[in-house]
Amino acid sequence: MPATEPSIPTLAAIEPRPDREHFLISDLCAEFGVTARALRFYEDEGLIAPKRKGLARIYSHRDRARLAWILRGKRVGFSLAEIREMIDLYDIGDDRRVQRQVTILRCRERIEKLEEQKQDIDAAIDELQQFVDLIEGLPHSATDKRN
């Protein structure tokens, strides 16, 4: 059986870039607003692994999507170690039965944690909103749902 590129999902839904075949470090830095130092650091930490053309790093579309995932992970408060763990889970797209169960479990744990975080955020928003209302002198405006 020839290796027909396993077609693993790309991670992260970001704007595609069919115009470019690959990216330089400066491209990604500009696009995502991070420093080259940070990208190299993520590489040292095993979070991303671009190919090389000589010494220069060449980032593929998958690398780019992976970076997007990393940065979002950071925004929602995960450490790089946690993010790497999650990424590793993705990369075990193979057959071992037991590993698959573990992977699923970990994912579910993550999801639960994220749900809890959402609740904390909602609570925080609520309180800030109440405070704003109060300071504006409004008569207590019951938590307005403008969602």
Binding site for DNA (CB under 7 A): 24-27, 35-38, 40-42, 45, 54-57, 74, 79-81
Handedness of CA 50, 39, 25, 33 (dihedral sign): positive
Partners of 57 in beta bridges: 52
Letters for 11-30 (x = contact with a second copy by CB under 8 A, - = none) are xxx-----------------
Give the one entry of a second copy, DNA, none that residue 136 binds, where binding means its C-beta sits below a cut-off of 5 to 8 angstroms depending on kind. Answer: a second copy
Alpha-carbon distance of 26 to 29, in angstroms, equals 5
Q: Which residues contact 63 (CB under 8 A, 6 or more apart)?
A: 23, 48, 49, 50
**100 touches a second copy (CB under 8 A):** yes
Query: What minimum distance in Å lies between the beta carbon of 140 and a second copy?
Result: 11
Among 79, 114, 141, 143, binds a second copy (CB under 8 A): 114
Count other C-beta atoms under 10 Å from residue 65's C-beta. 18
**77 touches a second copy (CB under 8 A):** yes
Query: What minimum distance in Å lies between the beta carbon of 13 and a second copy?
Result: 7
Among 45, 125, 141, 143, binds a second copy (CB under 8 A): 125
Give Cα separations from 128 to 123, 132, 134, 143 (angstroms): 9, 6, 10, 11
